[in-house]
Amino acid sequence: MRKLYIVKKTEDFNKIINKGTYKKNQSFIIYYEPNKLKYNRYGISVGKKLGNAVFRNKYKRKIRAIIDNNKKNYINKRDYIIILREGAKQKTFQDLTKEFCSLIEKIERGKSNEQRK
């Protein structure tokens, strides 16, 4: 994932989490908010309660790989903050990919329903 597509600033993280909407499942909480750019941006957070630094970095790499593998399926000009939950510890990479994609699809369906109103 290129640096252009990453949300890094604390102010941006806080703005998206406080003002954005969210969807969640057993493994992820995804906060999202529209942006004025031509591409999506992602921020990844893995809490200290889940494990040590090695564990957290390993799961951040997994999430980045999932995003890179599936980002062509959805381009909707949004900022995403992806927070890993405790339920993801026992899941395989394939299970995490399925759960992430299903959550993004829920977000997309919610968008299409909002446009119809």
Residue 8's domain spans which residues?
3-108
82, 23 contact by CB (below 8 A): no
The CATH number given to whatever domain includes residue 53 is: 3.30.230.10
Amino acid 9 reads K
In a domain, 10, yes or no: yes
- Report d(CA 26, CA 84) in Å as an integer: 9
pLDDT tens across 53-104, in order?
A: 999 999 999 999 999 998 877 778 899 999 999 999 999 999 999 999 999 8
pTM to 2 decimal places: 0.86
Cα–Cα distance measured from residue 109 to residue 115, given in angstroms and rounded to the nearest whole number: 10
Domain-embedded: residue 12: yes
Other CB atoms within a 10 A radius of the CB of residue 106 amount to: 14
Indicate whether 46 belongs to any domain.
yes
Let me know if residue 113 belongs to a domain.
no
Structural domain includes residue 60:
yes
User: How many folded domains does the chain comprise?
Assistant: 1
d(CA 6, CA 106): 22
Domain annotation covers residue 116: no
